[in-house]
Amino acid sequence: MMGTEMRRRLFTLFGVGAAFALVRFSRLLQVGAFATVAGVRRFLGTSASSHPGAHADEWERLRPPEKKPIATLSRVAITHHPWYQYHRAGDACICLAEAAALGVGYLRSDVRWKDVLPDAKSPDEDAFRWYRSYFTAVRDWYGMQPLFVLSEAPNLVNSLDDKGRMSARRFYVEQVVARLGDLCRVYQVLNEPNNPVFRFFPKAQQCEAIKVAAQVIKSRVPRSQILVNFLEDLPTWRQTLTRILGDCGSAIDIVAIDHYPGTWALSATADWSSTIEIASAIRTAASGSIWAGRKLAIIETGYSTNIVGLRTERHQSDYFVSLEQATKMIDLAMGARGIDLLGLYEICDENSAVRFDPEAHFGLVTSSFKRKLAFQTVQGLCARIGTSKDQSTLGACFVLDSRFRD
């Protein structure tokens, strides 16, 4: 009898383990396949590309909407990539109007280094004029606060030595802040330094790059906030996060998380436990801790509708329903303050006709500006948690994981 029972238990254990391995392996296959498709598409140059300076004059022919959206105090942000519409000013305004209709408070968008300083030395005045018109429209026409992402160096910067690259970076940040700094108070100064796809500076220079940007920005915009985001679920992302926070000190105001359960995450479920642990670490941090005085944001999260029939608009809508509940739990872990920003990725598809590439399908509207099912879901999310941090209906206790102690 004991032998039979033991065999049953062993078979059960083996079955559970095999199921777990299959799920984990299938996630690896999916994420690997998605990354391959996205990488090949960009290597072949089929993603949207244009130069903003060629469209700078278009803003002069546009007028603000007759009924301007009311500016909100919402902590929800949404990303817009205007090069998806080839920097056409009229199409950019359609996207901005849709973002405002969601009820978000922030519009997150890049000021691309390669656009405004294509040779890393000479400012492109038309490109800067385009960006100034764009972010002025974000703020004054559509009632949202601009959130700048400093990104995408021109190719020739890669040929510079470490000192030359850092000097060029300083000049870029100086030019952006001198020409556009009055329009923005929140700056993302690096994008996912733990992600090898986006890593521009070597590890030894990452903190210097953050400190240089923070010093330049705060010297001109004293009340600005400096944000750095980290992609969850990559190997050693926690170690990179704690290393950079420890080395950068007070240069970083906002610790931001990028997390894409169901698309770019290896986890089989929508697991936000790591973000909850970080929230708890910030809330309970003692003086001198690397977490003390930090704010917390989720700055990128979303769900791609990139496979017809399998990854649908319904799945995307359901994702944002679950995100609302996850945000409430993270708020609870943060205490009365809650998280400062909830950033959604993104307002518009790059190209809804593209097959399989997730990066082309994260939008809440299609590339032909048709609202997806999740658009209304996100409107409700913004209305319910955008400004409210009431946690009275929640009850839970979170234990700070030792990985986040310092």
Those residues with Cβ within 8 angstroms of residue 47's Cβ, 6 or more apart along the chain or in another chain: 41, 350, 351, 359, 360
Instruction: Please tell me the distance from the alpha carbon of residue 302 to that of residue 261, in angstroms, as a whole number.
Output: 8
Question: Residue 170 class from Cβ within 10 Å (0-12 exposed, 13-18 middle, 19+ buried)?
Answer: middle
Question: Residue 132 class from Cβ within 10 Å (0-12 exposed, 13-18 middle, 19+ buried)?
Answer: middle
Question: Residue 67 class from Cβ within 10 Å (0-12 exposed, 13-18 middle, 19+ buried)?
Answer: exposed
Find tokens 């383990």 and name the residue: 17
Asked if residue 240 lies in contact with residue 194, where contact means CB atoms within 8 angstroms, the answer is yes
**What's the pTM value of the predicted model, to 2 decimals?**
0.89
Please compute Rg for the chain using Cα positions.
22
Asked if residue 167 lies in contact with residue 128, where contact means CB atoms within 8 angstroms, the answer is no
Residue 357, amino acid: D
Q: List per-residue pLDDT tens for the chain, 406 residues long.
A: 445 554 454 454 444 344 434 444 556 777 777 767 667 776 677 656 689 999 999 999 999 998 877 767 899 999 999 999 999 999 999 999 999 999 999 999 999 999 999 999 999 999 999 999 999 999 999 999 999 999 999 999 989 999 999 999 999 999 999 999 999 999 999 999 999 888 889 999 999 999 999 999 999 999 999 999 999 988 899 999 999 999 999 999 999 999 999 998 766 667 999 999 999 999 999 999 999 999 999 999 999 999 999 999 999 999 999 999 999 999 999 998 899 999 999 999 999 999 999 999 999 999 999 999 999 999 999 999 877 454 333 333 333 333 333 4
Instruction: Please tell me the distance from the alpha carbon of residue 395 to that of residue 57, in angstroms, as a whole number.
Output: 54
β-pairing verdict for 341-344 and 186-191: unpaired
β-pairing verdict for 225-231 and 254-258: parallel
Spell out the CATH class of 50-404.
alpha beta
Q: Is residue 303 helix, strand or coil?
A: coil
Those residues with Cβ within 8 angstroms of residue 63's Cβ, 6 or more apart along the chain or in another chain: none
Which sequence spans correspond to the domains of the chain? Answer: 50-404
Q: For every residue of 170-209, which 3-state class applies, written as one string?
A: HHHHHHHHHHHHHHCCEEEEEECCCCCCCCCCCHHHHHHH
